[in-house]
Structure 1
C-alpha cells in the first residue's frame, strides 16, 4: 500500500513540475514578445540571451536525465531530473523579466 501512495506522490510531483514549467514558459514568451514590440521593458541584449541560453539548458537537461537513468532512477525521477535545468532557467527568466515591468509611453511603469 505504501508503494502505491509513494508512486502517486511521484507522479503528482512530476506533473506539477510540468505544469509550472508550462506556466513559466508562457509568461516568459509573453513578456519577450511584448518587449520585442516595445510594450515591455527589456534588458539590453535580451534577443541574444534568449537564443544563447537554449543549448546549455538543454544539454544540462539531457545530462541530468542520463545520469538519473544510469543510477537506476524511476522514469518519473529521470523525467523530473531532465526538466529541472530547463525549469530553473524558465523560472529565473520569468522573475527577471516580470520585475522589469511594462512600458507606457516609453517609460517603465513601477511594477511592485
Structure 2
C-alpha cells in the first residue's frame, strides 16, 4: 500500500467538497439574479444528483468486491462525484455572451 494514499484520498475529498460549495454558491447567485443562469439550471441541479450518487455507490461497491483498501474504496466513490462537480464549476464560471 502506498503510504500517501490516505492523504491523496483526503485531498481529493476536500477538493470535491470545495467544488461542490462553489457550485452551490454560483447556482444560488443565479437563482437570485446576481449572475446570469441558464434556463434549465434548476432542473439540472436536481436531475444530476441521483445518477452521480448511484455511480459513486457502484464504484465503491466494485472496489470493495475487488478487495481494495478502505481509502481506495473512498477514492473510487469520490471520483464520479468529483468529475461532476468539476465540470459544473467549469460550466458555471464560463463567461456567458
**So what's the TM-score if we normalise by structure 1?**
0.82
Structure-2 residue corresponding to 1:56: 51
- SS of aligned partner of 1:28: helix
Displacement of 1:92 in angstroms is 0.4
Unaligned runs of 5+ in 2: none
For 1:30-109, what aligned pairs fall within 5 Å after superposition?
Answer: 30-100=25-95
Displacement of 1:40 in angstroms is 1.0
Q: Structure 1: which 4+ aligned runs deviate by more than 4 Å?
A: none
Displacement of 1:44 in angstroms is 1.6
Q: Please give the root-mean-square deviation of Cα atoms over the aligned residues, in Å.
A: 1.3
Unaligned runs of 5+ in 1: 102-107
- Tell which has more relative contact order, 1 or 2 (C-alpha 8 A, sep 6+): 2
Displacement of 1:100 in angstroms is 3.5
Q: Which has the higher helix share?
A: 2
Larger radius of gyration: 1
**So what's the TM-score if we normalise by structure 2?**
0.94
